Structure 1
Amino acid sequence: MIQGTKMLTWSVLHRMRLTMKMTQHRCISSTSKLITEMYGGHIPVMVDTVVDVLDPKDSNIYVDMTFGAGGHSKAILQRAPEARIVCLDQDPKAHESALALSKIYNPGQIMPCIGTFSSLPKIMTELNIEAESVDGFLFDVGASSMQFDTPERGFSLSKDGNLDMRMDQGRENNVSAMDVVNNLEERDLTDILRKYGDEKKAKQIARALVEWRYMFGKIRKTKQLVDIIESVFGEQYHKDKLNRKASVATRSFQAIRIFVNNELNELHNGLVAAHHFLKPEGKCLALTFHSLEDRIVKRHFHGIDIDEKLNMSLRDKSRLSDKFRKFNDAYDVDSLNIMLNDKKWSPISKKIMHPNEEECKENPRARSAKLRAARKL
C-alpha cells in the first residue's frame, strides 16, 4: 500500500481510506439489514458471491440441496424471478418454509422436497426431472442457523437443550447424539471425536464421558456435555478466526453431529447425484465449514479419487488404480494421461472463495466458510 512521506499527503490518504472503509461498511450494513429483513433474521452465507458465480437465468432449473431458511433460494429468485428451484432439505421445519415460499410463486416454480442428499434421484424422478436437465446445484453444508437457534434441537453449545442433533428430527434417523454419547465405548467415541472433529484431546474427552456415565448416569442435555468437555481442558480455551474466545466443546459437538447425520457420506452421494442431473457446463457450488467437507468437495471437483492419499505421484496413482493394472508397469504414456485426465468437473476458480472481513463481522457464522464451484464437463 502506498504511504505518503509528508503529513499532508498522509492525511489525505488516511481520509480517503477512512471514507472508503465507511462507505463499504455502510454498504455492507445496509445490505445485511435488507437481507435480514427479507429472510426473517437469517443471513445466508456469502449470498452475493454465490449468486454472482451461479448467475441464475429465468426459466432455468436450480437445485438448492440445503434449503434451510431459504436465504440462497430467495436471492436466486431476486436475480432471476422466473427461475425454477427444487428446494430440498431433510429438516421438517425447513420443508415448511419451502412450502410457504412455493405459495408465493407460480405453481410448479418452487418445488419443496424433504429428504437427504441420497434420496435426490428418487425425488427427481417423482418431479419428472431427467438426467442432464438441471442448470445449477447449490450445497450449503452443515447445520443451519435455524437449527443452531433452536435449543431443543441440541445443536447449540450456548443454549441448553436435549442432546438430539438429528437434522431430520427423527423422521428417518433413529440415532441421536444422546444415543451416541451414552452407548458407544470409549474407543469408538475417541475415533469419532478424532476423525470428525480433529480433536487433539479426543481420548481424554471420551474417557470423561464414560466415567460420567458410570458415576452419574445418562448425559441428556447439551449443557452437561459442554461441562464434561470443559472439565478436560481446565482453564484452557480456543480462539476463533476473529480472535474471540471460543468454546473448547465446539469440535466435539461438530464431530458428534457429523456422525449422527452421516454428513460426509451424504455429501459424497449428493455430489455424485448433482453431476448426474446437471447439464454439460452446468454449475455446482458448495459452501463448507469443515476441512473434511471441503476435502470431499475438492476431490470431486479436481478429479481426485475419494480414497486416495494426498499428494500422490502419477506412478503411485497408476499402481493403485484398477484402471492401470493391465499395463503391468509397461505404461503407454498417451493412454495413461487420457485415463488420468478423464475428469468430470472443471473448477471455476482455482482458489477457494472466502467471505470478506466485513461479512464475518456482520455474520460471525460465516467466518469458517469456504466456497468452491465447478462446471460439469
Structure 2
Amino acid sequence: MDLGVSSMQFGTAERGFMLSQDGPLDMRMDGGRQPEQITAADVLAHIDEGSLYKVLKFYGEEKNARLLSRALVESRYMFQHLDTTQGLANMVSSLLEGTTRTDKLGRHAHPATKTFQALRILVNNELNELDYAMRLAHYYLRPKGVLVAISFHSLEDTIIKRHLQGVDLDHTPATIGLGLAKHRTALSTYTKDEMERITTKAWKQLTKHVVLPSEEEVASNPRARSAKLRSALCL
C-alpha cells in the first residue's frame, strides 16, 4: 500500500496542486469522474473560520492556523475570490512574510505548503479513505497474508500504526472525521463481546519500529525523505 501522491497529478497545473505554477484551485484527485465533488476553491468560499482553523491545524499541522483561517475567511468580505493556486499561495506568503521554512533536507519550503496539504486532504477525504482501506485490507487478506504500507506524513502513519496495534479509531480521540472518543470511568465494565474484541489482535507487526529510508536512498531519491514503512501479518 503506497500512499504517495501521483507525480503526474502534482505536475499538472490544471489539477490545482502546484505551488510553482498557476492553475485553478481544484485539488480533486478524481475530478474528471466526479465533477460534482467540491474543490478547494469551493471550500474556501463557504467554510467558516472555526472549521478552517481545525482543517489547517490538524490536517496541515500548521502553527499559524488561527492567523491564516481568519484572514482567508475575511478575504471573502473584501470580494477577494481565491480560485487559483497562485492566488492562495501568494496570500499565504504575504501573511507569513518573514517566516522561513525548510524541509527535512534543509531545502527552502514554500510557506503555503502546509495549507495546500490540509486542503488536499479535506477535499479528497484522504484520512477516512485510508481508515477504510486498512479495514478492507484486513478483510480481504488471507490469514498470514502480509500488508506493507508506506506513508508520507504523520497523520497517515498514525492511522496505520493504530490499526496494526489494534486500537479502534472509532473509540479514540481523533482530529477530524474519524469519530469522537467514548470515555469510560474506572467503574465501567466491558461485555464479553467487547473484551474479546479488545484482546483479539488483528495484526502481528513484522517490524518492531517504523522503517525509514537510509541517507543513501534519500540522496538518490529526495522524495523518499518523508517515507515511513510498516509491515504486518494478517491474523
Scaled by the length of structure 2, the TM-score of the pair is 0.87
Structure richer in helix, relative to its length: 1
User: Is 2:17 aligned against 1:144?
Assistant: no
1:349 pairs with one of 182, 207, 217 = 207
1:319/1:196 CA distance change after superposition, 3 Å: same
1:376 partner amino acid: C
Answer whether contact 2:19 2:85 (CA < 8 A) is retained: yes
Structure 2 unaligned spans of 5+: 175-181
Shift of 1:363: 2.2
Q: Name the residue aligned to 2:46.
A: 183
Shift of 1:376: 0.2
Paired-residue identity, % = 47
C-alpha offsets along residues 118-176 of structure 1, whole Å, 9 cap, x if unaligned? xxxxxxxxxxxxxxxxxxxxx22252211111111111212221111101124235101
- Partner Cα distance (2:146, 2:191) in 1: 35
Answer whether contact 2:130 2:156 (CA < 8 A) is retained: yes
Correspondence 1:143-222 to 2 at 5 A: 143-172=5-34, 174-222=37-85
Shift of 1:205: 0.7
Answer whether contact 2:31 2:37 (CA < 8 A) is retained: no
Shift of 1:340: 3.7
SS of equivalent to 1:284: strand
Q: Name the residue aligned to 1:275.
A: 138
Higher mean Cα deviation, 294-303 or 208-217?
Answer: 208-217
Q: Name the residue aligned to 1:115.
A: none
Q: Work out which structure has the larger RCO, using CA pairs closer than 8 Å and 6 or more positions apart in sequence.
A: 2
SS of equivalent to 1:346: strand
Correspondence 1:1-377 to 2 at 5 A: 139-172=1-34, 174-306=37-169, 307-308=171-172, 319=184, 324-326=189-191, 340-377=198-235
Answer whether contact 1:153 1:165 (CA < 8 A) is retained: yes
Q: Name the residue aligned to 2:178.
A: none
Shift of 1:349: 0.3
| Two-structure CA RMSD over aligned residues (Å) | 2.4
After superposing on structure 2, the runs of 4+ consecutive aligned residues of structure 1 that deviate more than 4 Å are 317-321
C-alpha offsets along residues 208-229 of structure 1, whole Å, 9 cap, x if unaligned? 2123222243111111111111
Answer whether contact 2:16 2:85 (CA < 8 A) is retained: yes
C-alpha offsets along residues 61-98 of structure 1, whole Å, 9 cap, x if unaligned? xxxxxxxxxxxxxxxxxxxxxxxxxxxxxxxxxxxxxx
C-alpha offsets along residues 305-354 of structure 1, whole Å, 9 cap, x if unaligned? 213259xxxxxx99479x94348xxxxxxx96x65431100111011111
Structure 1 unaligned spans of 5+: 1-138, 311-316, 328-334
- Partner Cα distance (1:372, 1:320) in 2: 33
Shift of 1:189: 1.1
Structure richer in strand, relative to its length: 1
- Partner Cα distance (1:142, 1:213) in 2: 33
2:142 partner amino acid: K
Answer whether contact 2:2 2:149 (CA < 8 A) is retained: yes
- Partner Cα distance (2:233, 2:161) in 1: 13
C-alpha offsets along residues 166-187 of structure 1, whole Å, 9 cap, x if unaligned? 0112423510111011221222
- Partner Cα distance (1:362, 1:320) in 2: 52
Shift of 1:299: 0.5
Answer whether contact 1:153 1:162 (CA < 8 A) is retained: yes
1:178/1:208 CA distance change after superposition, 3 Å: same
